[in-house]
Amino acid sequence: MSLLKALACQGIGLITAILLARNVPQLVFSFWLVVIFQGIIAAAISRLFHQAIWWMPIHLLFLPAALGLSALDLPSWLYLLTLLVLIVVFWGTAKGDVPLFLSSSAVAETMISLVKQENADSFVELGAGVGSVVVPLAKRLFLLNITAIERAPLPWLILRWRCRLLTNVTVQNKSLWDCDLANQKLVFAFLSPLFMDQLGEKIRREMHPGSLFVSSSFSVPDWHPESVIQLSDRRKTKLYCYRI
């Protein structure tokens, strides 16, 4: 659905910019002004369609980038290769999930401490990426039952490869919204502020009382965390810990 919205935004932007050039030539009097107006209109339409904020620079730069690359006379296979790489890395984003964010080693170490503190026997990471959290957990906590959810094809393949010898990790290639969180003692996510309200409803609906949800960097709106852990990594990450 997000990809269809993006295509619609680009199409509406292009049609509107062309109409402006034809009907208001004193405003849009050159080819590159048409290109600039197309990007601005497409970005504005994306907000009307409630697309995530990171779509705006994509809409602004898409047509200028496409025209600039076409002027370089690059081999056609290079465009196909770039498209394939973008698809396998950001497939979840196009399908309405969140982009790939990688957690630091400090986050992984803190999650290991939290698992021990909670005496948890199960752990789920929503959007596990390439395994920067689940792999250290699995190697250090052999008895912990870990579920890693990742939808994007390339991160999922890397995650599967890294977990191939880790018998306590189950890697699932599906949307985090389709993951059942019932009976999970500890759930971790590093997502996006745009999805935290929706995720909070899922957590509230599915997780049992007494379990713990930990969100990296982004808080759940109108929820009061049991604690906030400030890390000293490069991002100065905050972990918001919510007791259900």
pLDDT digits (tens, 9 = 90+) for 95-136: 444 555 678 999 999 999 999 999 999 999 999 989 999 999
Output the six-digit token pair for 77: 């296979």
Tokens of 2: 């997000």
DSSP string, 189-220: E---GGGHHHHHHHHHHHSPTT-EEEEES-PP
The predicted structure's pLDDT at residue 221 = 94
Q: What's the Cα-to-Cα distance from 237 to each of 215, 217, 229, 233, rounded to whole Å?
A: 10, 6, 8, 7
Instruction: Report the C-alpha gap between 49 and 175 in whole angstroms.
Output: 22
What whole-number distance in Å separates Cα of residue 170 and Cα of residue 144?
Answer: 11
pTM: 0.67
pLDDT digits (tens, 9 = 90+) for 78-91: 556 555 555 545 55
Domain ranges of the chain: 2-73, 105-243
Q: What is the DSSP letter of 114?
A: H
Determine the topology of domain 105-243 in CATH: Rossmann fold (3.40.50)
d(CA 161, CA 164): 5
Provide the 8-state DSSP code for 221: T
For strand 238-243 and strand 212-216, is the pairing parallel, antiparallel, or unpaired?
antiparallel
Q: Give residue 155's pLDDT band: very low, low, confident or very high (50, 70, 90).
A: confident
- Mean pLDDT score across all residues of the chain: 85
Query: If you search the block for the tokens 């759930």, which residue do you land on?
Result: 187
CA distance 214 to 220: 10
Instruction: Write out pLDDT tens, residues 188-236.
Output: 999 888 789 999 999 999 999 999 999 999 999 999 999 999 999 988 9
